[in-house]
């Protein structure tokens, strides 16, 4: 399945922002006694970095919400914040997975979030 141009642009934007954030997060600010512009050693990963989930990107496919109303979350699991809701019959595009959770792009308004895979069904 091909993504709509707007969906593809959103996915590229998310990937670029994530790559930039990861690069910025590993570079500490210039400290005392360092010369300006001098290369700095990378930081060791923190507990928060190592606790991050592993996102598996496969290929995008269309799906439909099977329950009346489900939560759209900021990450793959119930501890993550609810960033929206989806209604039964609403169409989404699955773009990644992590365990029992899938990352979806909402076709109607280009929001992105995570839902449990049992709450959606692949479109035929």
pLDDT digits (tens, 9 = 90+) for 82-112: 999 999 999 999 999 999 999 999 988 989 9
pLDDT surpassing 90 at residue 122: yes
Helix (H) or strand (E) holding 48: helix 47-50
Task: Record the pTM.
Answer: 0.57
What are the extents of the domains in the chain? 5-122
CATH architecture of 5-122: Roll (2.30)
Rounded to an integer, the average pLDDT of 16-39 is 49
Q: What is the distance between the alpha carbons of residues 16 and 2, in angstroms, rounded to a whole number? A: 20
Higher pLDDT, 98 or 31: 98
Burial class (CB in 10 A: 0-12, 13-18, 19+), 98: middle
pLDDT tens, 41-61? 544 444 444 345 566 776 799
3 state DSSP class of 119 = helix
pLDDT band at 37 (very low <50, low <70, confident <90, very high): low
pLDDT at 118: 96
């Amino acid at each position: 399945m091909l993504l709509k141009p707007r969906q593809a642009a959103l996915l590229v934007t998310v990937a670029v922002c994530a790559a930039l954030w990861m690069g910025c997060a590993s570079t500490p600010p210039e400290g005392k006694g360092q010369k300006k512009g001098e290369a700095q050693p990378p930081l060791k990963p923190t507990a928060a970095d190592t606790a991050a989930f592993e996102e598996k990107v496969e290929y995008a496919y269309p799906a439909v919400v099977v329950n009346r109303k489900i939560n759209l979350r900021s990450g793959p699991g119930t501890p993550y914040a609810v960033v929206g809701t989806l209604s039964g019959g609403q169409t989404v595009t699955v773009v990644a997975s992590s365990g029992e959770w899938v990352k979806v792009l909402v076709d109607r308004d280009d929001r992105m979030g995570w839902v449990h895979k049992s709450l959606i069904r692949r479109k035929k």
